[in-house]
Amino acid sequence: MSERTINRVLVANRGEIARRVFATCRRLGVSTVAVFSEPDADAPFVREADVAVALGGSTPAESYLRGEAVIEAARRTGAEAVHPGYGFLAENADFARAVLDAGLVWIGPSPEAIAAMGSKTEARTRMRAAGVPVLPGAHLDGEAGDALRAVAEEVGFPMLVKAVAGGGGKGMRLVEAPAELEGGVEAAQREAAGAFGDDAVFLERFAPRARHVEIQIVGDAHGRVASLHERDCSVQRRHQKVIEEAPSPAVDQRLRKSMSEAAVAVGEALGYVGAGTVEFLLTEGGEFFFLEVNTRLQVEHPVTELVTGLDLVELQLLVAEGRPPPPEARGPELRGHAIEARLYAEDPAHDFLPVTGRLTRFAIDTDAVRVDTGVEDGASISPFYDPMLAKVVAHGRTRGDAARRLADALARAELHGTTTNRDFLVRVLRHPEFLAGEADTSFLDRHDPAALGAPVVGADGVRLAAAAAALAGQAERRASARVLATLPSGWRNNPLDEPQPATFAVGEDELRVGYRFGRDGALVRLRVGDDDLEGARLHVCGPELVDLEVAGVRRRYRVAIAADGLTVHVNTDEGQVDLVEVPRFVDPAEAAEEGTLIAPMPGTVTRLLAQAGASVTAGQPLLALEAMKMEHEFTAPADGVLTELRVEEGSQVETGAVLAVVEGTE
């Protein structure tokens, strides 16, 4: 391959990865082009590109998956090369071939390498032929009933049903017993068809208590493939990575050498050009088995960058220009430890259900950690795309340093307006098993995600945060008062009067806060629940900042009162507390009927699993809803009769829509 210069790059992607590629391009003096869908028209990545082209549509199929429109955008803007990012068309061999046929540079491996590794079953066959160990497995070709069970028995339980064209945990189901087999295969096929347009699946033996360890490789046009060491991505939910790190705490120098040599052999056998990842399953006994090759840049690539000092996007551009990577990329030394946490708009307490809404505040200390994100204050969390908000990455001299720094930065982050997995991540990073380097892919089977996702702020911290919320609320009301504005809030002529009350909902609990000011404006009484706070003294009290001293300990609270006037976010050094002030007079019409099943997000009804009039039991699946490229089952809230089923298959529902009503029986 002859060398050529790339002056303008189109990124065929969105959000965080588009911004990440743009950052390197700007540093290297390369012009950038963005493509965008209608929901992304005002997104940061669109503004940051030198040129942007509208693809139209809202869903991926209407926008980012339209390969011909992306190529036409490159032609119209004079882009010489296309960077696919990850997801969407990144591992689509036909798209890569179309880019090359259009006379453009494809920043990635050859279409032939993508096609060879795009089929997980073909990849397994090639690896077995190359002498790379693989787990027992079998491709499915329409088998059902006894034939399906026979294939499964040969593979062995427990097993994973995996999409042939899959990735990112989509189109994957764990099957632990024969009774779960047909349902698991059908669910994986539906999800695979929706995510990849291909419902083909295969079976693969599941290895419990194993680790997910992957090797980053970079190949150039001169036939050289180098290993940039390993990443450990064992902490996963729904088979999707949430915490990644480099190097792996389970890999010593001998094992690192063996796994790197195997990964390089895979790259050389493929004639691999560009950045890619060879993924392995590492057993308790130290054996490793091939899983797949990701023929693109990985979401978790920043941890490799931080421990090697290399810019992987820059290496991709160099290789695409036909130039060799620099000498330091042929065997870089490991420097310290890096850990990445994927921050999602999702609810760990409810099986990591994705959530939508408006992110009114997004602030993480970038002096302490690296933050790769596609969102900003006011961002709308769309149901059309993956709900990842950011990748937050910490680098430290030791693994413990990195974990402590990352947990602290997440705990202090201001994330207002939508539910996130932030507290879950903090608890995992501080968990003794994780800190001991013993977390594997079944970590969340042993530790309840709902418990890990519980607020990190303790009961005493919540009580003080509620007091700060009440004081900030009264300060805002005083500041905007049109009459008697000079009177202190909560002041009474009769000093024996009860303090001015405010009640907050914190999760499923309620906290009553009472306060009273003297005529001089000084705080004379502060009560939370049934307890007066000893020695309460205010140093600063405003709508956005409360500096409160209690029992000789002084703390500062950053307070944000939402536009509804009721939701309050309180941020402290310990973490964030979200409260909702309970109105004194509640509109009865706002109370949902008991037994009502409400849609927590917009989506499409894919399956009805019960009929109106049927008797149901608590936890029985009633219907399935597809949102954010994942299928979610909704179950009966109680024993009773399914008196109403207000949707049908194919129905489009919005957040808050009534899906079904179950009336309890005596």
Residues in the chain: 666
Q: Are the C-beta atoms of 571 and 412 separated by less than 8 Å?
A: yes
Query: What's the rounded Cα separation, in Å, for the pair 57 and 546?
Result: 45
Three-state SS sequence of 308-323? HCCCHHHHHHHHHCCC
Strand partners, 457: none
Cα–Cα distance for residue pair 510/466, rounded to 1 Å: 10
- The helix or strand, by DSSP H or E, that contains position 472, with its residue range, turns out to be helix 459-480
Which 8-state DSSP code applies to residue 40? G
Nearest C-alpha neighbor of 9 from the set 378, 1, 22, 381: 22
Which segments of 481-620 does DSSP mark as H helices, in order? none
Amino acid 259 reads: M
Question: Nearest-5° angle of CA 208, CA 213, CA 218?
Answer: 155
Amino acid identity at 57: G
For the chain, state the CA radius of gyration.
27
CA distance 596 to 401: 47
The C-alpha angle with vertex 268 and arms to 267 and 274, in degrees rounded to 5, equals 50
CA dist., res. 199 & res. 193, Å (int): 4
Q: How many Cα neighbours within 13 Å face the side chain of 296? A: 25
Two tokens at 649?
């298959």
**Active-site residue, 296 included:** yes
Residue 476 one-letter amino acid: E
- Counting DSSP H helices and E strands in the chain, the numbers are 17, 40
Instruction: Spell out the long-range contacts of 94-103 with Cβ–Cβ below 8 A and sequence spacing 24 or more.
Output: 94/67, 95/12, 95/67, 95/70, 98/67, 98/68, 98/71, 99/71, 99/74, 102/71, 102/74, 102/75
| CA dihedral for 350, 355, 360, 363, sign (positive or negative) | positive
CB 213 within 8 Å of CB 648: no
Q: Is 437 left (phi over 0), alpha (psi -120 to 50) or beta?
A: left
Cβ contact 317:324 at 8 Å = no
CB 256 within 8 A of CB 230: yes
Question: Of 20, 124, 237, 296, which residue is the catalytic one?
Answer: 296
Which residues fall within 8 angstroms of residue 347, CB to CB, at 6 or more apart?
353, 355, 419, 421, 453, 600
Annotated catalytic sites, by residue?
296
